[in-house]
Amino acid sequence: MKLETRAVLSTEELTCIMFDMDNTLFDFVEAKIRACREIVNHIGCGDALELFQYFRRPGHGFENWNNILDYIVDKGAFSRSMYDECCQIYETEKLKAVDPYPNAVPTIRELKEMGLKIAILTDAHSTNAKKRLEKTGFSRWLDALFCADTTGSSKPSHQTFLFALEALHLQPHETLFVGDSLRRDIAPSKALGMLTAYAAYGDRNSDIYKRSEAISPDFVLNDISEVLELFGPVKRL
């Protein structure tokens, strides 16, 4: 069911749009599934979605190669050479499969041309984040990139948001945060006083939105381009 945007709040004081990266600017879930598919084809057994679920388990982390190790061991396909090959396949195919959401690049470009600062706050490691941003063409429009290894903490910790705000010399009310996770993006940024826009189009767990009355974004986006509508025709001239 399509979610409706709430009544528009004032955006007059906004000077920065801060985006989450994965599943907000591009479909990273699909990229990882495609990479997992190449791995199971290479080892000759298993299922791509089954392997993908290994990356979603608590423990190693959502990008850690030990998830691949556990999977090929469980499938009886482990050798050191096979493990090394699978890790290389995963990184190569994952990056190859990353493509911007429709309208994402022109939306970021237009926001930048409106005079707004554009920042990204992600839990990805900076090395991986930079590769994905270069691949998708977003790098040229960014004023700042904040990653877990540079902020010293991960979402939903308030510290990672505060680090970014301080680095950009911004007050929370001057910033709109756009992200696909109600718990990890919307709840902490809203608690700090930032305006929030929920990227419903990128949330694979969007049914949570219906159950999370305590997490209420200021805006709901069914397409990334809808963020432009929050500023009205005058701001965009």
Can you read off the two tokens belonging to residue 22? 């994965």
CATH assignment, 16-25+101-235? 3.40.50.1000
Kindly give the residue spans of alpha helices, DSSP state H, lying in 100-237.
104-113, 126-136, 148-151, 158-167, 187-191, 208-211, 232-235
What residues are paired with 115 via a beta bridge?
none
End-to-end CA distance of the chain: 33
**What tokens does 198 get?**
């929920």
Q: What is the pLDDT of residue 7?
A: 40
Q: What is the distance between the alpha carbons of residues 53 and 60, in angstroms, rounded to a whole number?
A: 12
In the chain, which ranges are continuous DSSP H helix?
A: 28-43, 48-55, 66-74, 80-97, 104-113, 126-136, 148-151, 158-167, 187-191, 208-211, 232-235
- How long, in residues, is the chain? 237
For the chain, the structural domain boundaries read 16-25+101-235, 29-97
Please list the pLDDT of the chain residue by residue as tens digits (237 residues).
Answer: 343 333 445 678 899 999 999 999 999 999 999 999 999 999 999 999 999 999 999 889 888 999 999 999 999 999 999 999 999 999 999 999 999 999 999 999 999 999 999 999 999 999 999 999 999 999 999 999 999 999 999 999 999 999 999 999 999 999 999 999 999 999 999 999 999 999 999 998 755 555 555 789 999 999 999 999 998 754 443
Phi, psi of 82 (to 5 degrees): -65, -40
Return the amino acid letter for 90: Y
Any idea what DSSP says for residue 97? H
